[in-house]
Amino acid sequence: MKRILTLLALLPILSAPLSAQAPAESEDVMLQGFYWDSQKETGWQALAAAAPEIARHFTLVWLPPSASAEGGGAVGGTNVGYHPRQWNNQTSCWGTADDLRTLIATLHAHDVRVLADIVINHRAGDSDWGNFTADDFGTYGNYQLTAAHICKNDEMNTDPSAGKWNGQATGASDTGENWGGARDLDHTSTYVQDDCKAYLAWLKGDFGYDGWRYDFVKGFGAQYVGLYNEASSPYLSVGEYWDGSYDKVAAWIEGTGRRSMAFDFPMKYAALNDGLAKGNYSKMSWIEDQTTWRPAGMIHHHNYNRYAVTFVDNHDTYRDGNKFTGYVQQAYAFILSSPGVPCVFWPHWQGNDKTAIEQMIAVRRAAGLHSESAVEVTVSDKYYESHAEGHKGSVITRIGFAAPREAPEGYYLAAGGNNWWMYLSDNVAGIRPIQSTPTATPQRHTIDGRRLQQPLQHGVYIENGQKKLAGH
């Protein structure tokens, strides 16, 4: 028996119109095109060479921070960019500014949009606590941040090691959580706001970025993300509000005026880390409005599935205690058959699970599953089963050793692996799937070029949705 999830009362829905920063019924699939210290593997030149392959499976690529960072901006350096030093210098450890322009143009030529990793909560000094470099964005404006633009409760005023800078920060109090590694900018300042707006306009106009991934959005008020998106009109915006609380993430989305999506950390912790990784399938679904069981997380409710970016791991969670410890393929079977915009992590895509992930993406695309797809969870005790409706067809997904292998009536097996299976409705053709067995590595096998033969069990298989005997 499922346990009903009790949530705090949701904030009233704002009257602001839905915007392009969270595309309606989006069929996008995103790739996080890096991981921590992956400069050699995912530098700008390497990603440009991989663009044709990326485009076969993804419509969005999230790049790492591209501004010169603390410690220098040398290509191949060790700072991955999360303490930016010079916004208008886009030569970084990942490559030169010209390499970046070439990469974005190459991805665009393959119909792939590009998200910049925007780090504007904090800023590193050029060589000391507060000697910031000037921001020269050409026709988009010139700015010079000073200690007056640092929050007055920053470490500059509280840490004795700040030396001559101690006490000089005169901005307003921080509107979010403190970040101790660099100076927290005062986003209540119209000068800081104008600097940030010019930065985004420059990245979009000069380099061609299509959207934004905002770093550490707990560090400043959500309303400022809404302000910056209103000014820059990105195709898609997503904030890193790192919290497992559905209500807190929902409140942040509302705080932006619904002008940004958010990473679905509630889904990651509930459905994946605490549910799937531990074989507790009951935690993989939450009830929507006391009526229908949906995949757990922001994606479980129609108010927020459009605003959710789902993921298994990212550059941070992958290297600490938040890492998903279950079967990676099963986790992707979950998010790629669920609402939201799924984000695939580079090491997962390029690792042992590459082929399986690509097959799942193909199934998602074939059915036209999207960010607002109606997905009902029908089983969650001994295994997990969901039924998802897309623009072109439907998908039934089963995860777990105890799940039945036989294709449901009106469906055929389109992808499968180690105790996970995805079935496409018979009205969707064109998939050339692989044979799946309960324990073996999947092997390619086709019958008529469109349908997958079910694992042979007692001489029976499924072809075109019909049971048949082997040899007949």
Is residue 384 domain-resident? Answer: no
Q: Check whether 188 has a pLDDT greater than 50.
A: yes
Q: Write the single-letter amino acid at 174.
A: D
Q: What is the pLDDT of residue 53?
A: 98
Q: What is the pLDDT of residue 439?
A: 39
Q: Check whether 447 has a pLDDT greater than 50.
A: no
Please count the structural domains in the chain.
1
Q: What is the pLDDT of residue 19?
A: 56
Work out the average pLDDT over 49-64: 98
Contacts of 250 (CB under 8 A, 6+ apart): 10, 11, 298, 303, 304
Is residue 397 domain-resident? Answer: no
pLDDT tens digits, one per residue of 224-265: 999 999 999 999 999 999 999 999 999 999 999 999 999 999
Please state the φ and ψ torsions of residue 407, each to the nearest 5 degrees: -65, 135
For every residue of 202-267, DSSP letters joined together read: HIIIII---EEEES-GGGS-HHHHHHHHHHH--S-EEE----S-HHHHHHHHHHTTS--EEE-HHH
Kindly report the average pLDDT of the chain as a whole number.
Answer: 89
Q: Check whether 464 has a pLDDT greater than 50.
A: no
Q: Write the single-letter amino acid at 196.
A: C
Q: Taking every pair of C-alpha atoms in the chain, what is the biggest distance, in angstroms? A: 87
Contacts of 352 (CB under 8 A, 6+ apart): none
Is residue 417 domain-resident? Answer: no
pLDDT tens digits, one per residue of 344-354: 999 999 999 99
Least Cα distance to 77 among 48, 40, 44 occurs for 40
Q: Check whether 461 has a pLDDT greater than 70.
A: no
Q: What is the pLDDT of residue 429?
A: 82
SS3 196: helix
Structural contact between residues 212 and 232, judged by C-beta atoms closer than 8 angstroms: yes
Work out the average pLDDT over 315-321: 97
Could you tell me the two tokens for 237? 């915006």
Q: How many whole angstroms separate alpha carbon 134 and alpha carbon 162?
A: 21
Is residue 241 domain-resident? Answer: yes
Query: pLDDT band at 69, cuts 50/70/90?
Result: very high
Is residue 134 domain-resident? Answer: yes
Work out the average pLDDT over 315-322: 97
Query: pLDDT band at 78, cuts 50/70/90?
Result: confident
Q: For residue 335, what is the enclosing H or E element?
A: helix 328-335
Q: What is the pLDDT of residue 75?
A: 78
The neighbour count for residue 179, using CB atoms within 10 Å, is 22
Using a pLDDT cut of 90, give the percent of the chain over it.
84
Q: What is the pLDDT of residue 430?
A: 72
Domain housing 247: 30-372
Is residue 67 domain-resident? Answer: yes
Is residue 436 domain-resident? Answer: no
Q: How many whole angstroms separate alpha carbon 41 and alpha carbon 399?
A: 32
Q: What is the pLDDT of residue 77?
A: 74
pLDDT tens digits, one per residue of 1-11: 333 333 333 33
Distances (CA, A) of 54 to 13, 84, 109, 318, 437: 37, 27, 12, 21, 28
Q: Check whether 108 has a pLDDT greater than 80.
A: yes
Is residue 16 domain-resident? Answer: no
Q: What is the pLDDT of residue 467?
A: 31
Work out the average pLDDT over 327-331: 98
Q: Check whether 330 has a pLDDT greater than 90.
A: yes
Work out the average pLDDT over 30-34: 99
Q: What is the pLDDT of residue 432?
A: 62
CATH number at residue 133: 3.20.20.80
pLDDT tens digits, one per residue of 350-380: 999 999 999 999 999 999 999 999 999 999 9
Q: What is the pLDDT of residue 423?
A: 98
